[in-house]
């Protein structure tokens, strides 16, 4: 926890510590009712109510009516006026941009298709235009944007914003992605791998929020994993941790963009994944396969299930190395639900050691198609000084109230 440490025993420092507890809980979850705040902080309902009133008066939080479990409740969020952030996810074939406030509430959002093997310059131009356009739509300007979190489907050296392995994302090599976008928008940009962002979102707000050690697996045009150890995303030395798309699954397979042979990415998500359907179904896209599988098409369900098995084999290796409590499965192929998840789960459970505490949980994403975008927004919020400003303002309340 940032901010000042309270001095033990003094009345005002106890208040300050209680205020800090409440602000930390609201920062982490975006918005909580007063009853939920009581549960999250261990404070009494009366104390929560008093402190929330103080924080509202200081302009740090806002309260509005909502409904929880069919009953009316007061939702407490970080005040909207404290600033906006943008989250951006660039995929192999699409781009998504969202604008949110410090309470994690998305206030504008749009997606655009991208051509195959899109180039970094034109794609970041589109990102910049879309960010400005979304801000205009909500009547805000660039000055109100504190920062931008950007996810890409490749390993990233977060210190330099450079994609750390050449050939994985063609047209994006040797470009300081963060610097290029910063130049266009004159706002700070923070870049990370998309699976790391999915992991950050699921472990903060989604399916793995109750555990300390978890893995997020995104299965789309490529497959990537984000590793969370002790509640923090583990990126590794050069941002390569969890790059399971480049684990070899077929020693005699196709040569991958990374230069190795038979990587998982050459088998799942790409052209080789769609090829078995060509004779029976014609030329399908990944989206088509997801849609037909959900409509019950047996051929499409077959290739998705095969993908689940091979991804599960690779994830089992990762799980053996890391011993996570929970594996969260997301990405576009996860939109087929159990068609992907069941064979993936079975492959993981069959290949990992059975411990006497509890088997590893293999669960679907709770944030759905929004996991990575939510992670990009969280990255922007955590990297900008908005939370520091809240802490400073809260610490400043001591003199006024205490």
Of 199 and 244, nearer to Zn ion (C-beta) is 244
Do 192 and 165 form a contact (C-beta atoms < 8 A)? no
Smallest gap from Cβ 249 to Zn ion, in A, equals 10
Which residue carries 């909207």 as its tokens?
A: 80
Half-sphere exposure for 325 (CA within 13 Å, toward CB): 14
Smallest gap from Cβ 191 to Zn ion, in A, equals 21
Of 166 and 209, nearer to Zn ion (C-beta) is 166
Give the one residue of 128, 191, 256, 334 binding Zn ion; rule: CB under 5 A: 256
Smallest gap from Cβ 261 to Zn ion, in A, equals 8
Smallest gap from Cβ 269 to Zn ion, in A, equals 12
* 244 near Zn ion (CB under 5 A): no
* 258 near Zn ion (CB under 5 A): yes
Smallest gap from Cβ 234 to Zn ion, in A, equals 21
* 249 near Zn ion (CB under 5 A): no
Of 117 and 385, nearer to Zn ion (C-beta) is 117
Token pair in block for residue 128: 């910049």
Smallest gap from Cβ 155 to Zn ion, in A, equals 11
Give the one residue of 244, 263, 322, 397 binding Zn ion; rule: CB under 5 A: 263
Of 155 and 206, nearer to Zn ion (C-beta) is 155
Of 263 and 333, nearer to Zn ion (C-beta) is 263
Give the one residue of 246, 301, 345, 394 binding Zn ion; rule: CB under 5 A: 246
| Residue 401 backbone phi and psi in degrees, to 5 | -95, -40
Of 145 and 256, nearer to Zn ion (C-beta) is 256
Point out which span in 39-47, 145-153, 158-166, 241-249 binds Zn ion (CB under 5 A). Answer: 241-249
Point out which span in 83-91, 115-123, 257-265, 313-321 binds Zn ion (CB under 5 A). Answer: 257-265
Point out which span in 21-29, 178-186, 255-263, 366-374 binds Zn ion (CB under 5 A). Answer: 255-263
Of 206 and 270, nearer to Zn ion (C-beta) is 270
Of 193 and 374, nearer to Zn ion (C-beta) is 193
Smallest gap from Cβ 194 to Zn ion, in A, equals 16
Number of residues forming the site for Zn ion (CB under 5 A)? 5
Do 284 and 266 form a contact (C-beta atoms < 8 A)? no
Smallest gap from Cβ 229 to Zn ion, in A, equals 24
Point out which span in 11-19, 129-137, 200-208, 243-251 binds Zn ion (CB under 5 A). Answer: 243-251
Kindly list the residues in this chain that would bind Zn ion in the complex (CB under 5 A): 246, 256, 258, 260, 263
């Amino acid at each position: 926890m940032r901010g000042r440490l309270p001095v033990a025993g003094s009345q005002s420092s106890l208040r300050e510590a209680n205020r800090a507890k409440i602000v930390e809980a609201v920062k982490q979850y975006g918005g909580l009712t007063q009853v939920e705040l009581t549960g999250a902080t261990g404070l009494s309902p009366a104390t929560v109510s008093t402190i929330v009133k103080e924080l509202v008066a200081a302009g740090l939080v806002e309260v509005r009516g909502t409904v929880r479990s069919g009953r009316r409740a007061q939702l407490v969020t970080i005040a909207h006026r404290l600033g906006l952030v943008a989250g951006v996810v660039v995929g192999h074939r699409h781009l998504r941009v969202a604008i949110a406030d410090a309470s994690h509430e998305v206030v504008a959002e749009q997606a655009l298709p991208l051509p195959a093997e899109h180039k970094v310059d034109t794609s970041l131009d589109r990102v910049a235009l879309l960010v400005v356009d979304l801000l205009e739509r909500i009547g805000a300007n660039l000055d109100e944007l504190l920062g931008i979190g950007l996810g890409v489907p490749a390993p990233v050296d977060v210190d330099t914003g450079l994609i750390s392995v050449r050939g994985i994302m063609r047209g994006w090599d040797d470009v300081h992605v963060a610097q290029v976008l910063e130049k266009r928008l004159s706002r700070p940009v923070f870049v990370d791998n998309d699976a790391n962002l999915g992991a950050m979102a699921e472990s903060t707000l989604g399916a793995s929020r109750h555990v300390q050690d978890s893995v997020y697996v995104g299965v789309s045009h490529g497959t990537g994993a984000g590793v969370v150890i002790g509640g923090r995303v583990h990126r590794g030395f050069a941002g390569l941790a969890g790059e399971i798309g480049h684990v070899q699954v077929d020693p005699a397979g196709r040569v991958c963009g990374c230069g190795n042979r038979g990587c998982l990415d050459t088998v799942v998500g790409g052209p080789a994944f769609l090829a078995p359907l060509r004779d029976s179904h014609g030329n399908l896209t990944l989206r088509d396969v997801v849609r037909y599988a959900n409509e019950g098409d047996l051929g499409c369900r077959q290739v998705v299930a095969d993908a689940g098995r091979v991804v599960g084999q690779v994830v089992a290796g990762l799980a053996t190395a890391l011993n996570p409590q929970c594996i969260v499965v997301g990405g576009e192929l996860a939109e087929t639900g159990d068609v992907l998840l069941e064979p993936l789960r079975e492959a993981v459970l069959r290949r990992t050691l059975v411990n006497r505490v509890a088997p590893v949980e293999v669960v679907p994403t709770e944030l759905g198609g929004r996991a990575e975008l939510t992670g990009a927004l969280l990255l922007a919020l955590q990297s900008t000084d908005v939370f520091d400003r809240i802490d400073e303002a809260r610490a400043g309340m001591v003199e006024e109230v205490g």
